[in-house]
Structure 1
């Protein structure tokens, strides 16, 4: 299938697909990998039934059979925000690699034409008699390099689950790559990917990539032993500044926000856009300078609103703050309630009224309230 993909007015790409993905979500993932797209977006297509006017693509069956024109419409997906930014605006504000949620399932990208041809022949042989492909060092290196190029769009520090999802997807798409004698057929691919990403990070560190440099080994101040900083990208996520934006422009945006938050009714849309534009500068200050909380509040007062805290959490962790908090609370709820009940039984707690309310109506909302009150009481006792 041949696609004409409009990313922006200045970038219109031609994409050829061997097979049509089974769903719109998988088509979005394929376009992300093929066109190096970042951030959240929806797809629109030219509908021939309406004179080729654009319509949102919600069902993959709506696409014309052989050729189609798609438009990528980027959206701002921060929590508590219903604002939508046009393509040019978001493109100018996005960093070289945004913090993007890991795809589930992971979509294996296309390799070079010769590699794809070799694996096609090998897959046919595997389907016929179960013969696995004898992979040369050069072919394996090309496969790992291509996978590393895709992985780095999401994180420089994949987790164990990330590696396993890639290895599973790889042998599922190309069963000829299964390991003979292995129970699952993909364990060695996990180890190879780990080594490849380690070498990839070394190259990025030599090139001066901030996110990798900030996690490098350093000598301890009072010890000769090397101290390894946390590798988690969500802790030390350090994106590059938006393309074309200088440090002077970023500082001007920060000063504009300082004035805006002092207004009785600040421009929420403007603050949203400015917070995105200054994200790189803010992360470098917080990670690199490690300022005190009051210093951060003084320089970035807009950050300390419920809306912007949620949006910043989304930018760094790629998850919804409230949802993550409630999931953690639900996981610990039973333990907290057991402590709470024990405290009431021993008459060391004055929250018996909350327990009585919970006994009368044992809903999830009441259980959360009781757990939070218990945790708050323990915190007050400690302090």
Structure 2
């Protein structure tokens, strides 16, 4: 099919696509790869039924049969309207036009500590201190530049500086690492060189140690004030032996948020009941569900983190959490990162490099990796999608982990329970039973499903990348641990694909460096 692609007033490209197009998502992948598009975008096309006026492309069947003119509209992740305007739509039945990748605006999310979506800013912004401290620092910096004399910092002044920095640090992370605090200390002495350590070394070692202890004291104050995110880690006597609950270790912005102002436990339970009633309807109101899910976020996180319920119980109590759109939104509430946009943008960028890496190293991994590449070479349609699928399927193999525990397949006539039994976390590909076997190379995959704790939690998904993205999002939403036999695979998804944390294990760091050199 021939396309005339309008990227800008002075940038109009001609593109020929030889493979059959099955979806708008597939077309986006081809455009992104062929035209080197890095930003998220929408596609508009000249509709011949409306005198070639531009219309948004929502279904691939809307395109003319042989050639079409497309216009690329770059966009940032959209922000939804303030949810308070729709929270009272208890009986609404109009379908929502909200996109699965439309995220709540920071102003409508009092649960987040900081409106900046960065996990840890680089460089770290040193806050303004009190007027008298800033005045002393200005004069101290002038003296230091003239003759190198360091400022004599009083106890009161040091306390003022540390308190201000601690508040700023907590706006990003409740449990910063010592390396992260060292970066903060480095920025402090860079901005105010008169505060350098007089001793040899990095010139900020003493500030790093002071911040380390000050942040700990600040967390203790927050515990006494009832801050949920730090209180959850307190050791308490009881039958669990004072077990320490999970800290936010996967770059969560809102691991365990407090109840929003103006709400209480009872009012949130009423909102939850209204949400469950809406989910019983045959046709859901997406706007209403999104508003109620955001409003009950703190209640849901408290139940999931404190009570650690089985996934089957969460399915019963919070069925809306397993809608595809809500998985994306919940992940954004927890991390401040758009799951769908970030995951698929990284996959578009990395998949060709990963396939090259697999081909260069296939001999070192036996038949498993070679078999995946052979299957890819046999594909003649949807090549871009199959390349991405192969890149993801090969990750456990390349990480020398158990790929069979993550990716499973069955015929649509198989007994469902036999395929779910013993599966704690995985992706199930359902293949049409036309006399083939479940592992046939050219088997016609009907759909993909996400399995957690022997239950299908999301089904009828169009492709494996979408299913894996949703599984990753549900790990965060349900506060689950990465399976031990797949910890490097999921670390790669977290830190390489989603850019959540830069502290990589040796195995994942080696994979990333080799892949980027391809």
- Which TM-score bucket, shorter chain as reference? 0.5 to 0.7
Give the structure 2 partner of residue 207 of structure 1. 225
Q: 1:289 aligns with which of 303, 307, 324?
A: 307
1:371 and 2:419 correspond: no
Q: Distance between the aligned counterparts of 1:336 and 1:301, measured in 2? A: 40
Q: Given the alignment of the two structures, is residue 248 of structure 1 paired with residue 274 of structure 2, yes or no?
A: no
Q: TM-score, normalised by structure 1?
A: 0.66
Determine the structure 2 residue equivalent to 1:354.
Answer: 375
- CA 1:377/1:82 → structure 2, altered by over 3 Å: closer, same or farther? closer
Please, what TM-score do these two structures have when normalized by structure 2? 0.50
1:270 corresponds to which residue? 288
Q: Is the 8 A contact 2:259 2:299 kept in 1?
A: yes
Deviation at 1:285, TM superposition (A): 0.2
What are the residue-to-residue correspondences of 1:168-247 with 2, within 5 Å? 168-218=186-236, 221=239, 227-232=243-248, 234=251, 237-247=255-265
How far apart, CA to CA, are the structure 2 residues paired with 1:353 and 1:185?
A: 56
Distance in 1 (alpha carbons) for counterparts of 2:106 and 2:369? 58
For residues 290-329 of structure 1, what are the alpha-carbon distances to aligned partners after superposition, in whole Å with 9 as ceiling and x for unaligned? 1110111111111111211111112112223243587699
Q: Deviations over 1:95-130 (max 9, x none)?
A: 374685333332211111111111111010111122
Determine the structure 1 residue equivalent to 2:514: none
Cα distance in 2 for residues equivalent to 1:345 and 1:132: 62
Higher helix share: 1
Is residue 95–residue 243 contact of structure 1 (8 Å, CA) maintained in 2? Answer: no
Cα distance change on mapping 1:165 and 1:316 into 2, 3 Å:
same
Please say if residues 103 and 338 of structure 2, whose CA atoms lie closer than 8 Å, have aligned partners that are also in contact: no
Kept in 1, the 8 Å contact 2:111–2:260? The answer is: yes
Unpaired runs of at least 5, structure 2: 1-77, 82-97, 397-401, 409-421, 424-518
**Compared CA separation, residues 76 and 175, structure 1 to 2 (3 A):** farther
The CA distance in 2 between the partners of 1:86 and 1:138, in whole Å, is 35
* d(CA) in 1 for partners of 2:366, 2:262: 64
Q: Which residue of 2 aligns with 1:95?
A: 111
- Superposed displacement of residue 220, structure 1: 8.3
Paired with 1:98 and 1:171, the residues of 2 have a C-alpha distance of: 24
Change (3 A) 1:338 1:220: farther
The superposition leaves residues 55-81 of structure 1 with CA deviations (integer Å, 9 ceiling, x where unpaired) of xxxxxxxxxxxxxxxxxxx95499934
Is this contact kept in 1: 2:278–2:284, CA < 8 A?
Answer: yes
8 Å contact kept, 1:95–1:239: yes
**Counterpart contact for 2:178–2:212, Cα < 8 Å:** no
2:350 matched to 1:341? no
The 3 A distance-change label for structure 1 pair 114 and 346 is closer
Say whether the 8 Å CA contact 1:126–1:176 is kept in structure 2: yes
Question: What does 1:86-165 align with in structure 2 at a 5 Å threshold?
Answer: 90=108, 94-95=110-111, 97=113, 101=118, 102-165=120-183
Q: Distance in 2 between matches of 1:339 and 1:216?
A: 49
- Cα contact 1:343–1:349 (8 A) shared by 2: no
Q: Out of 304, 313, 317, which is 2:331 matched to?
A: 313
After superposition, the Cα gap between the structure-2 partners of 1:134 and 1:200, relative to the gap in structure 1 and judged at 3 Å, is same
Higher mean alpha-carbon deviation, 157-166 vs 207-216, is at 157-166
- Could you tell me how far apart the structure 1 residues matched to 2:106 and 2:125 are? 27
How many residues are paired up?
Answer: 302
